[in-house]
């Protein structure tokens, strides 16, 4: 063998040896990476369709991607902190994270409701366009930064029902004086209708309805509502969900805990959260119509649609809420103005894509 060939062979062996050593070092570094355990207080029970299971899936995705080295343990509502008190708990670092929704923090900042859902608001695509690419979530982040918080959107769901009532609502006047569980900015609209509203976590609604603490309720979608048992007491279910055409929730984190994570763990959180946004939305759209049929056939629930005049009254009240809240709250005004400006600009695209039915129903 010539000296040149021998030299080339030795160089090849050296390169292979170097690659093997590098690979071994990489594997060793990965195996040696610190094991991290986080607690995640969920606002939604693991058995509550769509909302709770999305958090369980998220936890399992993090475990799989990290090879079990990063655990975000799902805790049932109230296991660590009360369901509606995640904001303070995560801000203080009492827990590292929560599977929750901005609309549950409106006692701190009413404007945070915009980042979950908006009455007479956009569909899924337009809402995420504003939040992700239109600057909406940047406004949320500005608020959270003041409290050592950071969040990623973690799941979205489709349109909800707009209320369960014991009897048919034949006029807006019949709602005056009624006590009703209601969520978000829609609650302010209902208050203008003369309804006394309160925000209750999922597990607290049925007992309140059963005991007469509330006369009516809304919570979410048919599959969830029927599991919570509203149909046992209230037989009139109203649509459309004018107050929540799309609803997005959040994985809320203590900012210092998040910033201390390795970059690959941070990436896992973002990817796993975004995966649930699409998965859960599609799941909710696929699983409501069977339940609605069951409610009608098995439980004699009457599915009702608000008259156009009533929906117009709700929308008029919503526009009044925007004006009044903006006058009293600079942060609310900043978020509302930003949101409305985006919708105005988006309209040239959105309205150009509206399809009007051109066929006759059989």
| Binned average pLDDT, 10 residues per bin, the chain of 362 residues | 43 41 38 84 97 98 98 97 96 98 96 98 97 98 98 97 97 97 97 97 97 98 97 98 98 98 98 98 98 96 98 98 98 98 98 83 61
Report phi then psi at 332, rounded to 5. -60, -45
Q: What is the pLDDT of residue 165?
A: 98
- Residue 357 confidence (pLDDT): 76
Helix, strand, coil percentages in the chain from 3-state DSSP, rounded to 5: 55, 15, 30
pLDDT of residue 74: 98
Model-level pTM?
Answer: 0.89
Task: Encode 277-302 in three state secondary structure.
Answer: HHHHHHHHHHCCHHHHHHHHHHHCCE
Asked if residues 84 and 201 have their Cβ atoms less than 8 Å apart, the reply is yes
Indicate the SS3 state at residue 98: strand
Phi, psi of 324 (to 5 degrees): -70, -45
pLDDT score, position 360: 63
Instruction: Report pLDDT for 13.
Output: 40
Q: Can you tell me the distance from the alpha carbon of 240 to that of 121, in angstroms, rounded to the nearest whole number? A: 12
């Amino acid at each position: 063998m010539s000296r040149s060939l021998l030299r080339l062979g030795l160089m090849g062996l050296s390169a292979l040896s170097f690659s093997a050593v590098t690979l071994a070092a990489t594997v060793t570094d990965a195996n040696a990476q610190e094991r991290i355990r986080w607690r995640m207080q969920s606002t939604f029970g693991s058995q509550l369709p769509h909302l709770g299971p999305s958090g369980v899936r998220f936890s399992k995705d993090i475990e799989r991607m990290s090879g079990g080295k990063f655990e975000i343990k799902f805790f049932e509502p109230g296991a660590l902190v009360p369901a509606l008190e995640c904001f303070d708990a995560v801000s203080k670092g009492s827990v590292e994270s929560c599977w929750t929704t901005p609309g549950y923090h409106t006692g701190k900042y009413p404007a945070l409701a915009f980042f979950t859902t908006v009455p007479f608001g956009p569909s899924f695509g337009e809402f995420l366009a504003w939040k992700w690419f239109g600057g909406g979530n940047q406004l949320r982040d500005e608020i959270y930064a003041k409290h050592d918080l950071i969040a990623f959107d973690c799941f979205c769901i489709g349109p909800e029902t707009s209320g369960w009532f014991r009897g048919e609502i034949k006029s807006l006047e019949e709602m005056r004086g009624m006590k009703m569980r209601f969520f978000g900015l829609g609650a302010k609209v209902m208050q203008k209708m003369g309804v006394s509203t309160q925000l209750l976590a999922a597990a607290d609604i049925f007992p309140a309805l059963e005991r007469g603490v509330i006369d009516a309720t809304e919570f979410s979608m048919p599959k969830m509502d029927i599991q919570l048992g509203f149909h046992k007491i209230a037989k009139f279910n109203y649509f459309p969900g004018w107050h929540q055409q799309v609803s997005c929730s959040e994985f809320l984190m203590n900012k210092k805990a998040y910033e201390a994570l390795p970059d690959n763990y941070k990436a896992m959180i973002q990817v796993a959260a975004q995966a649930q946004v699409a998965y859960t939305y599609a799941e909710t759209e696929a699983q409501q119509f069977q339940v609605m049929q069951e409610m009608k056939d098995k439980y004699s629930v009457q599915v009702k649609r608000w008259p156009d005049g009533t929906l117009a009254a709700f929308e008029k009240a919503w526009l009044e809420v925007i004006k009044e809240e903006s006058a009293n709250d600079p942060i609310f005004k900043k978020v509302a103005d930003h949101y409305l400006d985006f919708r105005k600009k988006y309209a040239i695209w959105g309205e150009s894509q509206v399809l009007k039915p051109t066929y006759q129903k059989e």
